[in-house]
Structure 1
Amino acid sequence: MIGRFGLGRATSLRAQLGVGAALLAVAALLSALLTIEGMRYMGERIDSSIAAERRIDRYAALSTQVSQFLVVATEAVQTGLSPERRTERLRGLTENIAATFGHLRTDLVEAVAEAQRFGLDAQSRQATQSLAIARMEAQFSRMREELLSGDTSRDRLRGSLDTFSLNFDPLINTAVREEIRMRGQVLAEIAGLRWRLTWIAVATGLGAVLVAAWVQYGLVRPQFQRLDMLEEAAQRLGREDFAVALPEDRSDEIGRVITETNRAARVLGARAREVEEEWARLNDTVAQRTEELRAANVELSRIDEDRRRFFADISHELRTPLTVILMEAQLAQKTTDPAEGLKIIEGRALRLNRRIDDLLRIARSESGRLTLSSAPVELAECLTDAVVDSEALVQSAGMSLTLDCPAGFVARGDANWLRQLTTGLIQNAVRHAREGGAVDISATEGGPGFEIHVADNGPGIPPDLQSVVFERFRKGSASEGFGIGLALAKWVMEEQGGTISLQSPRSETGRGLRVTLGIPKAEG
């Protein structure tokens, strides 16, 4: 479409938009000039119509004034008033008529001057009206002079009045008809001008619409289509899609941007391929180094996990004898004979010393794992030691502790750890089941080994927690949990070939908790 209007593909986009803007400006200027000229001409014709209407009103006023003058003059003549009296009575009417004639002359002078802009015919008609006014004014002056003179007889005065009336009325009627005709002609010209201005406005509007349509569809819309292609190309480049090939069919400003975009896409595509190759080589190197680091990290994680487990477990192991020592010391202060308490403190201190020795040995080792002994264990003796270790704690809690273990039950395992686990289970019962009032410990023979039962009458463990209480650092609903104790107990029992399980609530009471330690029998 641009080509059809004489703007080729090589024309600058700035020039094309300039042409479009110039055409729109010309259309707007033409419309404004036509509007201004039409309004000016319309105003002049309306002024002419108003002037004609004003002259018609003055003719009507003149006719009324002359009629009043004739009535008063006729009465004065019939009554035989003297010239002085007639002059006095007619002075006001005479002055009004003279003023009206003056206004009419002024209006006609302005009308003649204005008629020069509309041609010779209009000017001649206005001049004719001026002559008619002059004749009417001359007749009135002549009749007034005869009326006011003292030499004229009454009959002649009446004749003069009649003659004036007969001659004056046709003149003023002719003048009024001419003004009405001229006013009608002006109104007709106004109507014709309005019709012409309407069609000119329609034609100008259509021209402006055509120019705007050409600007939109011939200039703006094609450029926006090209800009849309550029936007899509930029989005593709942003998505790292460098297969961009825009049509380079114009050499204007947008065409140059398209050319540079295609060049940038080619350069970026080449760089992307180079980067991809370098990235592949880097990935291979990183994968190799990562595998080496992963293997080293696995080894470090294993060592760290072993040490972390050791320190977590040993901290729990050391807490129990320290608690017993503290309780015995408090009880010894309340008794008169502290020897028994000091004996227990001495025994617990010796056991604590053995655990510290274990800690030092493990800290120097590479594995970081606890070493468990495997020897025959007299369960009655082991459980009795656990009861003795816990008596002070149970008594301070106001609870009862019972033990039922037949003699002759000999298991295989680590006696110290088995005693310590039993003590820990008793402490858990005291901590969480104090309102139950009792802790029962029993040992039974079952299958290939023995079972140690630690039972209480407390609230027990909710069903949704029973599957997770053996996880490390797992706590129950209270602030003090089973966490590390049961996790340690599970690990120690499994390392000795045993088991640990729990039942909550207990079947015989409908509440409480029973923890069962399964340990193999000693051989022979």
Structure 2
Amino acid sequence: MLAWLSTLRARLLLWAGLIGLVAILASALTVHGTARLTGLMDAAVSAEQRMQRFSVLADQIGSFLVVAYEAAQTGVDAETRATRLDGLTRSIAQTFAQIRQDLDQAITAADASGFDERTRMATRSLGIARMEALFNATSERFLTATTAAEQAGLQGQINSFAIGFDPLLNAAITDERRARDAAIAQVGTLRDRLSRVALLVGALAIVLVSGFYLGLVRPQLSRLDRLLQASGEIARENFAVVLPETRGDEIGKLFAATNRMTAALARRKAEVADEWQRLNQTIDERTGALRRANAALEKADEDRRRFFADVSHELRTPLTVILMEAELALKAGAPEDGPWGVVQGRARRLNRRIDDLLRIARSESGTLSLEADAFDLHAAAAEALADMRAPVESAGMTLTLEGAAPVPVRGDRNWVRQVAAGLIENSLRHARGGGAIRLTTGAGDGFGWLRVADNGAGIDPDEIEAVMQRFGQGRGGARAQGFGIGLALARWIVTEQGGRIVPESPVPAPWRIGDAPGTMVTVFLPDAGG
């Protein structure tokens, strides 16, 4: 029980119950006071109403006495007296009936007031009955007196009635006046008493509400304010907040949960700080390693460029001498199809190879630039065929070029020739078993085109796009060799010149070589007029 009372919920219920009891008490007092005041006011109004009835009765009795006295003095007969007194008699009888009805209602209302009140009302009823009996006897005497002796005694009857009726009427009026005054006095007394009780209940309510606020609400609000401040500190990542856990109520449990939470957050913050420090250390180490690796790569790239430059220089010098000797010999009359002509052609091809090496080296270093000149695509294909004829024939394969010349296109002639040579080299590596490579040139729809087809095993259709990506190759293909450019670089070169490159496998029927599926790559370049 004590443990339950220590909870905030129990204390709130207790204080709410006390305040509710005060409210119920105030309501009960209001209802009781209102009912009591209503009863007293009704009693005063009833007494006043009966006093008015008695006043009417007094007027009617006075009129009755005047008429009766006149009739007695004049000595009129019984019929005449009955005629004169008939209306007054009925009015007085009706007034007595109303007075009796009022008394009956008063007696009924007095049942709730106790035995004494009922006794007083019954006593008044007896007085009314005597007055009514006295009046009835007198009126009966006047109506029935016929003899001279009876008529002579009417004057005495009137005097006797007046002497007997007047004290009874005065006593009844006095009783009703006292009852009215007593009811009004009780109203004042009850009002004063209810006022004092209302003040007492109001003071008690103020004490209870003040005690509820000062003893329960304000301390809890202070604790909640402290919790709010702690929440603000936690939001600012200050996890050194410690709330008191001296109470076992709901807010105390919330304080304890908040302390556990801040402790967990503090531990997590420390762990995150440690992890962050280790991560920064790792990043610093990796950054240093990347810088060193980048420096090594830059040095290797510089060495590579220097090597190509040196090789180019070392090769160009003897090639220049060889070309000069061959040209001098040809100018001196040596035949074009003789040894000196062969030497000149081989030297020129070797010179183009050196240019290709330097061009590839520049492309890998990010300094590739493309020209946009008009040239004959068929002638560029013929140059690529001449460059690749020796390795193709050494592999036991045939290499042919078909199509009408010229095919004027716009682009970089040397790079297009290198693209064509690279496509031939790809077919040489991957379609060696087929034995045939065919180049075809043509033009149409604003483009010149070059098709390189072979009769090898072909490429899986699902892998066509993959082999066009950088470093991509088929599952069954041989790994790239030599210095020829790959399909990814070929696509980039052609696309940058406003064209496109389309691989297909198997080769479409009009271009197929034999029964093998084969592979065909078509290069489209804008025509020279575009």
Specify the TM-score bucket, using the shorter chain as the normaliser: 0.5 to 0.7
What's the CA shift string for 1:346-365, capped at 9, x where partnerless?
xxxxxxxxxxxxxxx9xx79
Q: Which residue identity does 1:198 align to in structure 2?
A: S
1:291–1:39: structure 2 CA closer, same or farther, 3 Å change rule?
Answer: farther
The amino acid that maps onto 1:217 is: L
Structure 1: distance between partners of 2:249 and 2:188: 51
1:273 paired residue among 270, 277, 286: 270
- The AA in structure 2 aligned to 1:181 is R
Tell me if 1:241 matches 2:241.
no
- For 1:157 and 1:14, how far apart are their aligned partners in 2? 91
SS at structure 1 position matched to 2:112: helix
Secondary structure, aligned partner of 2:241: coil
The C-alpha deviation readout for 1:87-113, integer Å capped at 9, x for no partner, is 122222111111111111122223233
Picking from 96, 121, 124, the partner of 1:126 is: 121
In structure 2, what residue type is equivalent to 1:256? K
Residues 289-298 or 138-147, more deviating: 289-298
Deviation at 1:162, TM superposition (A): 2.4
Matched to 1:225, the amino acid is: S
Q: Structure 1 residues 166, 152: closer, same or farther in 2, change over 3 A?
A: farther
Number of the residue aligned with 2:201 = 204
Partners of 2:65 and 2:164 lie apart in 1 by: 13
C-alpha RMSD over aligned residues: 3.4
Instruction: Determine which of 83, 87, 95 is the counterpart of 1:88.
Output: 83
Q: Deviations over 1:227-266 (max 9, x none)?
A: 1122211221111110011111011111111111111111
Aligned partners of 1:297 and 1:41: how far apart in 2?
106
Instruction: Write the letter of the residue equivalent to 2:256.
Output: T
The within-5 A match list for 1:153-168 is: 153=148, 154-168=151-165
Query: Residues 146 and 152 of structure 1 are in contact (CA less than 8 Å); yes or no, is this contact kept in structure 2?
Result: no
Change (3 A) 1:366 1:186: same
Q: Which residue of 2 aligns with 1:228?
A: 225
**Which letter maps to 1:171?**
L
- The code of the aligned residue for 1:214 comes to G
Partner of 1:151: 146
Aligned residues: 309
Equivalent of residue 74 in structure 1, options 69, 77, 92: 69
Whichever residue aligns with residue 267 of structure 1, its letter is: A
Shift of 1:51: 1.0
- Give the match for residue 107 of structure 2: 112
**4+ runs deviating over 6 angstroms:** 6-10, 290-300, 364-369
Unaligned runs of 5+ in 2: 299-358, 368-530
* 1:368/1:264 CA distance change after superposition, 3 Å: closer
Question: Secondary structure in 2 aligned to 1:241?
Answer: coil
Alpha-carbon spacing, 1:155–1:180, altered in 2? closer, same or farther (3 Å): same
Equivalent in the alignment of 2:254: 257
Q: Is the 8 A contact 1:242 1:265 kept in 2?
A: yes
Partner of 2:95: 100
- Match for residue 215 of structure 2 among 214, 218, 224: 218
Partner AA of 1:236 in structure 2: E
Residue pair 2:8, 2:250 contacting (<8 A) in 1 also: yes
| 1:37 paired residue number | 32
- Structure 2 vs 1, CA of residues 181 and 152 (structure 1 numbering), >3 Å: closer, same or farther? farther
1:58-110 alpha-carbon deviations (Å, 9 max, x no partner):
10111111112222223333343321122122222111111111111122223
Structure 1: 5+ residue stretches without partners? 1-5, 301-360, 370-524
- Structure 1 CA distance for aligned equivalents of residues 46 and 107 of structure 2: 12
In the alignment, structure 1 residue 18 sits paired with structure 2 residue 19: no
What is the rounded CA distance, in whole Å, between the counterparts of 1:77 and 1:110 in structure 2? Answer: 39
Offset at residue 184 of structure 1 (A): 0.7
Give the Cα separation in 2 of the matches to 1:19 and 1:77.
85
- Measured at CA, do residues 197 and 69 of structure 1 come closer, stay the same or move farther in structure 2, by a change above 3 Å? same
Instruction: Give me the whole-angstrom Cα distance separating, in 1, the residues matched to 2:235 and 2:25.
Output: 49
Residues 65-74 or 42-51, more deviating: 65-74
Structure 2 CA distance for aligned equivalents of residues 207 and 7 of structure 1: 26
Q: Tell me if the contact between 1:56 and 1:179 (Cα under 8 Å) persists in the aligned partners.
A: yes
Give the % identical residues.
Answer: 43
Offset at residue 183 of structure 1 (A)? 0.9
| 2:158 is the counterpart of 1:139 | no
Distance (whole Å) between structure 1 residues aligned to residue 71 and residue 294 of structure 2: 144
Amino acid at match of 2:105: E
Residue 173 of structure 2 corresponds to residue 176 of structure 1: yes
| Aligned residue type for 2:230 | A
Cα offset, 1:287, TM superposition: 5.0
Q: What is the CA–CA distance in structure 2 between the aligned matches of 1:287 and 1:88, rounded to whole Å?
A: 139
- What TM-score, normalized to structure 2? 0.53
Query: For residues 79 and 98 of structure 1, what CA distance do their matches in structure 2 show?
Result: 26
State the alpha-carbon separation in 2 of the partners of residues 194 and 273 from structure 1.
74
2:512: which partner in 1? none
Q: Are residues 9 and 248 of structure 1, via their aligned partners in 2, closer, same or farther at CA, if it must alter by over 3 Å? A: farther
Per the TM alignment, residue 366 of structure 1 is displaced from its structure 2 partner at its CA by 11
How far apart are residue 38 of structure 1 and its match? 1.4
CA contact (8 A) 1:7 1:16 kept: no
* Residues 1:274 and 1:149: Cα distance change in structure 2 (over 3 Å): same
SS of 1:81 mapped into structure 2: coil
Pairwise CA distance, 1:279? 1.3
Deviation of 1:118 after TM superposition, in Å, equals: 2.9
Describe how 1:372-521 pairs up with structure 2 within 5 A. Answer: none
Specify the alignment match of 1:334 in structure 2. Answer: none
Q: Deviations over 1:378-405 (max 9, x none)?
A: xxxxxxxxxxxxxxxxxxxxxxxxxxxx
With over 3 angstroms needed to count, the CA separation of the structure-2 counterparts of 1:96 and 1:271, relative to structure 1, is same
The Cα shift of 1:52 comes to 0.6
Partners in 2 of 1:203 and 1:8 — Cα distance? 34
Any conservation in 1 of the 2:100–2:125 contact (CA below 8 Å)?
yes
How far is the alpha carbon of 1:169 from its aligned partner?
1.8
Distance 1:7 1:76, change over 3 A: farther
Aligned partner letter, 1:84? E
Change in 2 beyond 3 A, CA 1:128/1:214: same
Cα 1:55–1:190 change in 2 (3 A) is same
Q: Normalised by the size of structure 1, how large is the TM-score?
A: 0.53
Distance in 1 separating the partners of 2:15 and 2:5: 16
Q: Aligned equivalents of 1:184 and 1:294: distance in 2? A: 115
Q: Kindly state the Cα deviation for residue 143 of structure 1 after the two structures are TM-superposed.
A: 1.0
Maintained 8 Å contact 1:59/1:176: yes
Aligned-partner Cα distance in 2 for 1:227–1:116: 60
Shift of 1:166: 2.5
